[in-house]
Structure 1
Amino acid sequence: MSSGKGGPGLPQERKVVTEIPGPRSREIQERRLKAVPPGVGSVLPVYTVAAGGGVVVDVDGNSLIDFGSGIAVTNVGNAHPEVVRRVQDQVAAFTHTCFMVTPYEAYVEVAERLNHLTPGDHEKRTILVNSGAEAVENAVKIARYATRRPAVVVFDHGYHGRTLLTMTLTAKNMPYKEGFGPYAPEVYRMPMAYPFRSELDGPATAAQAIDQITKQIGAHNVAAVVVEPILGEGGFIEPSPGFLPAIAEFAKANGILFVADEIQTGFGRTGRLFACEHEGIVPDLITTAKGIAGGLPLAAVTGRADLMDSVHGGGLGGTYGGNPIACEAALAVLDALDAEKIVERARQIGDIMLPRLRRMAEKHPEIGDVRGRGAMIAIELVKPGTTEPDPARTAELAKACHAQGLLVLTAGTYGNVLRFLPPLVIPEHLLNEGLDLLENAFGG
């Protein structure tokens, strides 16, 4: 069994020594079922002892190729040496004081870095919180406070979190909303330009959404539109070209704040530092999390200084927001993004994966669509010759991949998307081997 040490020194090889899950993982799973409620699910109940590069090692000694990155979190790896060093140094100094009680420099430095790195050359401010959902909640709070308007507009297939407000913003009912209502008020959902499933182009879908906003809500009542530049849990949907710019232009013309939810897409994942840069969008507010701190809980809202400064003293914050350990990890990640050309590596991953997946689609008619940018890539599974979603085939393929030692995730409003989020530091040989295993799962 592994010693539990991960990081770059971990052998970068797939190794399957037991069935997956193995006997030790199954033993722990039995304990889990008596200790943790079933509402907390797991994609694959193999219990991890080490991870790094492009592999996850379990308690049975199996080494799986990682196409999940902890859901786009470990962009620079699971135990990057500088993340480890800075975290260890900070733990030895102090673990917590609460930034709202006696602050510390690392929080300020993370805010300065995000103000500089996020799109737009205007003056900005940043607040740090614990999770993506908390970031989105705070973005809505700030938007409502700054505009003195109540309504928030979101879009079909969007995912924004599991808290009461963000669950309301999220489109998909099962498993995220079922039975948890009533939901937060003044949230309105508009159509999304979903190329595979819509006959309308981006500008036409935007015009439809704008018409509904105008007629059903009144633009003067809308505080913000909240949108993922590439939809994550909804199925890695790239909005049709022209959709986001048209929505952004409408928002600006009507005093509505454009909030880019970059929680899954941020920090190089799509081949740009932030996905909204692909279409030249400069958001008023941008929410980030996941890839920000190498696996430690941290998230942020960064936005125009006039908006962020509008909130009264004490109106924003939280006990653990911007924890010093997570801030040190984030600074190490931000350094690595530049020093190790992580954004470029994301583009290289896409250049390898997309052509391979398109060739698979030519051979396997159940692949209805191949899409994505950088290292945020997906295939949508349908009944051959139709656009009818095939979630059963999707689940079957995921299970076949897992059995071979390839960790993949599913997604999509219809549960029919396989999404691929390899660490941006994955070795090329593992990337290609993972694609070979995926092809095997299809039957060659």
Structure 2
Amino acid sequence: MTSPEEFIAAAEAHSAHNYHPLPVVVATAEGAWMTDVAGRRYLDLLAGYSALNFGHGNRRLLNAARTQLERVTLTSRAFHHDRFADFCTQLAELCGMELVLPMNTGAEAVETAIKTARKWGYRVKGVPDGRAKIIVAGGNFHGRTTTIVSFSTDPEARADFGPYTPGFAIVPYGDLAALEAAVDDDTVAVLLEPIQGEAGVLVPPPGYLPGVRALTRNRNVLFIADEIQSGLGRTGRTFACEHEGVVPDVYVLGKALGGGVVPVSAVVSSREVLGLFRPGEHGSTFGGNPLACAVALEVIAILRTGEFQQRAAELGDHLHRELAPLVDGGAVDAVRGRGLWAGVDINPSRGDGRAVSERLLARGVLVKDTHGATIRIAPPLVISKEDLDWGLGRLRGVLGA
């Protein structure tokens, strides 16, 4: 195979069609740029849905991985290894928490958080067995396992995958009164994204997250923050919750924790919550493996400098200033976001999100649509202002703005 068309045809012939990728075949990448098999370069404004916050081919992360590859990559949790203690200690410190339960993917971490909340509800809160309830928000995206799609409101994620797992209540995102009305004596947790990514980078109203924090404290309910996309620098803070001065009971982390090198996720919480687990009750063969820990330790070291949080804040302010006139000019209906993260609702007169993504692809810019009319902009945090402006200029061009 030599041409992009041959690669795409082979992929479509021999893989399940659970994704609808744009017609580009990436061969190499560095920083904020990717190059396809034909040698054409593209500016990456998606960053693997925030898994690549620190850029493609980040040398610090690659060196950490190379060094560990020469030592040991997997022991399983049947044995200790010499990177595990440092990883757990430093991630707990970064989060201001006490214990870490490592997994691999974001969905695994969410499933772990669900089990954690239920166990806490039965063992600590005293909820009768089998009655634990977790409240989630409409428009959520926490993964695609059978349990998680049971509380999705997205028909594409949910349809044809029943019977669905009970134990969840769905309330409108950002509606504190609806959340308060849904909490009862059997409620063990509220699980929320501080900013809803897949829904189109929806930022809740000011005061919502502090209201959730106060409500959950008053009703003896865990507040679980899914920061898989929003966390680890994307919004201009280490965690999106920080913008509202909120510290949840549980952080759910993934994506950028593995630096775009290996899948790494984790649930991070207090000893009172995570300390309830006993051997055999939960686990993962690859969770907390030496290679994952080595890469994640370098991610934590990068975040400790604050450099990338500051870049996301400063470039994010610039991004939103540049996008705002598109609303005034009628090319887009709305722009939302925080930090170096934006959801852009395309005016139907300019096409839908997929059409705009394809037109940008033809001009050397990679974005992805969601829910029809929206495109998301989330470049690697290493992107230069000049490259960001170049990409935004092409967006204005395809929108005729």
- Fold conserved between structures, TM > 0.5: yes
**1-structure distance, mates of 2:232, 2:213:** 22
Q: Does 2:127 correspond to 1:127?
A: no
**Unaligned residue ranges in structure 1 (runs of 5+):** 1-21, 194-204, 385-389
**2-structure distance, mates of 1:111, 1:381:** 42
**1-structure distance, mates of 2:90, 2:381:** 21
Q: Does 2:288 correspond to 1:315?
A: no
1:209 Cα offset (Å):
2.5
- Tell me which residue corresponds to 2:321: 355
1:327–1:179 Cα change, 3 Å: same
Secondary structure of residue in 2 paired with 1:419: strand
**2-structure distance, mates of 1:45, 1:330:** 32
- Tell me which residue corresponds to 1:111: 88
**AA matched with 1:53:** G
Q: Does 2:2 correspond to 1:36?
A: no
1:336 Cα offset (Å):
2.0
Secondary structure of residue in 1 paired with 2:139: coil
**AA matched with 2:286:** Y
- Tell me which residue corresponds to 2:357: 398
**AA matched with 2:63:** R
Secondary structure of residue in 1 paired with 2:16: coil
The TM-score normalised by the length of structure 1 is 0.85
Q: Does 2:180 correspond to 1:210?
A: yes
1:408 Cα offset (Å):
0.5
Secondary structure of residue in 2 paired with 1:220: coil
**1-structure distance, mates of 2:62, 2:79:** 25
Q: Does 2:119 correspond to 1:161?
A: no
CA contact (8 A) 1:381 1:417 kept: yes
Instruction: Give 1:78's match in structure 2, choosing from 56, 61, 79.
Output: 56
- Tell me which residue corresponds to 2:114: 140
The TM-score normalised by the length of structure 2 is 0.94
CA contact (8 A) 1:159 1:169 kept: no
What does residue range 153-232 of structure 1 map to in structure 2 within 5 Å?
A: 153-174=135-156, 176-193=157-174, 205-211=175-181, 213-214=182-183, 219-232=184-197
**1-structure distance, mates of 2:56, 2:80:** 28
Secondary structure of residue in 1 paired with 2:259: coil
**AA matched with 2:38:** D
Runs of 4+ in 1 over 3 A off after TM superposition: none
What does residue range 290-301 of structure 1 map to in structure 2 within 5 Å?
A: 290-295=255-260, 296-301=262-267
Aligned-residue identity in percent: 31
Secondary structure of residue in 2 paired with 1:105: coil
**AA matched with 2:114:** V
- Tell me which residue corresponds to 1:92: 70
What does residue range 1-80 of structure 1 map to in structure 2 within 5 Å?
A: 24-39=3-18, 41-80=19-58
**AA matched with 1:114:** L
**2-structure distance, mates of 1:135, 1:169:** 16
**1-structure distance, mates of 2:108, 2:84:** 17
RMSD of aligned residue pairs (Cα, Å): 1.7
- Tell me which residue corresponds to 1:375: 340
1:355–1:23 Cα change, 3 Å: farther
CA contact (8 A) 2:257 2:299 kept: yes
Task: Kindly provide the CA deviation profile for residues 283-336 of structure 1, in whole angstroms up to 9, marking residues without a partner as x.
Answer: 111100001121110100000111111122221221011121121111112222
- Tell me which residue corresponds to 1:423: 380
CA contact (8 A) 2:94 2:300 kept: no
- Tell me which residue corresponds to 2:214: 249
Task: Kindly provide the CA deviation profile for residues 357-406 of structure 1, in whole angstroms up to 9, marking residues without a partner as x.
Answer: 0012211x24221111111111123457xxxxx9x522221111111110
- Tell me which residue corresponds to 1:237: 202
**AA matched with 1:96:** L
1:340 Cα offset (Å):
6.9
CA contact (8 A) 1:146 1:311 kept: no
**Unaligned residue ranges in structure 2 (runs of 5+):** none
1:77 Cα offset (Å):
1.2
1:23 Cα offset (Å):
7.0
**AA matched with 1:65:** L
Secondary structure of residue in 1 paired with 2:169: strand
Q: Does 2:240 correspond to 1:275?
A: yes
**AA matched with 2:162:** G
